[in-house]
Amino acid sequence: MRIAYVFLGAFLAIAPSAYAEVAPPPVLKPLERQADAALLSAQFLSRYSYKPVALDDALSARVMDGFIKSLDPDRMLFLQADIDKFMADRSKIDDAIERKDLKIPFAIFNAYEQRVADRMTYARSLLKQGFDFSVKEDYAVLREKAPWPQSEAESNELWRKRVKSDWLRLKLGGKADAAIRETLDKRYENTLERVYKFKSDDVFQSFMDAYSNAIDPHTDYFGAAASADFNVSMKLSLFGIGAVLQERDDYTTIRELVPGGPAQLSGKLAVGDRITGVGQGKDGPIKEVVGTRLDEVVQMIRGKKGTVVRLDILPADAGADATHRVVSLVRDKISLDKQAAKKTVLSVKAGDATRKIGIITLPVFYEDFDAKNKGDKDYKSASRDVAKLLEELSQENVDGVLIDLRNNGGGSLDEAIDLTGLFIGKGPVVQQRAGNGKIVVKSADFSAPAWTGPMGVLINRGSASASEIFAAAIQDYGRGVIIGEPSFGKGTVQTVVDLDEVVHNSKPELGELKVTISQFFRVNGGTTQLRGVTPDISLPGLSDPASFGETSYDNALPWAEIKPAKYTPEGDVAALVPALQSRHDARVKSDPGFQRLIEDIAELKAQREKGVVSLNEAERRKEAAAREKRFKDRAEASDGEDPTGDDGLQSDERSLSADIAMENARKKAKDVLLDEAAAIVGDEADLQQGGVKAATTQTGKTKGN
């Protein structure tokens, strides 16, 4: 996902100024320092990126396309005539940057501002008349590839359906008409007010987002104000919920959950969830924040340690027909203790035996750099903590170990290498290639492994970077079985460059660049980039590969391959995979919990892909009733287990059961998938003890992607 600190306009339809009854928005103009920053960024990115991209007509076109998409992602704002006018300058941005001329993006943005003002005024006028929900008509919600409206009349019709859809969603959620009118009027007013708050730096930040992301998905530009805010406001490092937020499609969206933070520990939030309202305390009213600036939402979420903040959430998995739910979180500060690795022991049936499997959950590859630099011999780190847990599990006589890396987005590379060393002892773990082609091999150096028995690694789409390095090394060495979903696929390394330091500025004016400088490769020669790590045994996942993961970026760096490193595999777990797969298939086929999870995932997938929703109230209520009946029937079929039971939400804040079931699908996925992964490691132990032991291969290359 890409950070966007300003205005994305999914809720904004279009029209000329016929409906405008407000003063025109201010005309924003570029500043000299912005032109300097754009040129310096272009010079740097075209020379020093891992894959330098020349500032030419082709890049100019990609930047233009990205900039327009960021303003009007659902093609409900600009008219086709607007786009035709913009496209006349599509190949001129490169020359304009060279001339230090930013008139093109600013002209587009000023047109955007006027469209927003027109549309919000029109939208608020629609609220006065109400809607007839007995009419049979549909609204297309997936418009990313739809044509822009050709006329004012077509634009008006699109926006009428948009407002009607917003109204019906709230009506189905139980709100009265007066409350709906007030809520939507405030929502559109928020968006209108933002138009008058935009500053020149907001326009420039959005333009540079489009430019930097046109290089690759992980290259970013932070203006002076944005870079100052990033570590404080955007990460809510001062007593917040522990989340990295971004603005996307007019919503404040969760980009990342910080391990050990209130949001991650609650289990109630997920990456991609959209925050539509914020309330203070257990009983304070929830203020609508759709259309509100990101920095303002951040300030509302932050507060004193120990106080409660309530978030009105539209779930990431929710389709266009979904309703909201409210979760309560207690503000706190992130600490290493809350990020620490933890262990549990599960007993699983494997063949005719019962096996004890030690599970180590690692949310992030952490390391206390300050304590380490001060010479503290007992400094805290992921590998050190896992080593202690492995020793404890050995004393408990477990038959196998499962490392749970789901949603572990990475962290310290050194810790990933040392963690690998706990299972292989000595040997290369990862290769890193710089832009100049130089390859450095990074190795673990332990006198002996801390654990030599059967082991597995559980990953999902949220396992990225350092997690992928560890899982790939375990797979390449044949040391353990990889279980779960294909991982994220981020196989690149970034560094931050202070542009003011480059030109020896005494004060911050030009901002910073986050630049891709190198790429990771496995010891077998393949990269973790794009494809990620492919599990030996696949488990179903809740995430959408089309919107989450490296493959969701249309300009991600491609998969590549170099020479394998010199390494000696510890075994050949691949030889066990057919037998493990057979046992897994037989087990889950008769596991009602696993089968219900598959049904839940299918339901979520169908909701995500539902491109059209009915605007007929009776039809929508019929659909909702059918969903509720499915969940009720499922509860009765599972010996009274209630899928809408312990949802962790306040009783008076629950929405329709379909959305509660979504939340529970996440929780069930954790439990069901973890149990099955442990059973697979139990099978691995059983097969190895029974004589189907993994034989060490003599080649320097093993199967794995």
* Paired strand residues for 354: 349
CA 364, CA 463: separation in Å to the nearest integer? Answer: 10
CA distance 179 to 325: 17
Please tell me which residue in 164, 343, 490, 668 is annotated as part of the active site: 490
Burial 226-246 (b: 16+ CB within 10 A, else e): bbebbeebbbbbebbbbbbbb
Structure tokens at 540: 């179903």
Look up 370 and say whether it is catalytic: no
Query: Which one of 216, 273, 418, 476 is the catalytic residue?
Result: 476
Is 622 an annotated catalytic residue?
no
Residue 528: helix, strand or coil by DSSP?
coil
Tokens describing residue 459: 């990953």
d(CA 646, CA 664) in angstroms, rounded, equals: 8
Catalytic residue among 465, 518, 543, 655: 465
Alpha-carbon distance of 678 to 483, in angstroms, equals 10
Q: Which of 73, 411, 489 is nearest to 247 (CA)?
A: 73
Instruction: Tell me if residue 206 is catalytic.
Output: no
Distance CA 619, CA 607 (A): 16
Q: Which residues contact 547 (CB under 8 A, 6 or more apart)?
A: 272
Cα torsion for 519, 524, 526, 532, to the nearest 10°? -90
Element (H, E) at 87: helix 80-87
Phi then psi dihedrals of residue 360, to 5 deg: -115, 115
At residue 592, what is the residue type? P
Q: What is the CA radius of gyration of the chain?
A: 27
For residue 6, the one-letter residue type is: V
CB 147 within 8 A of CB 81: no
Q: At what angle do helices 592-608 and 657-689 cross, to 10 degrees?
A: 130
Which residues are the active-site residues? Answer: 465, 476, 490
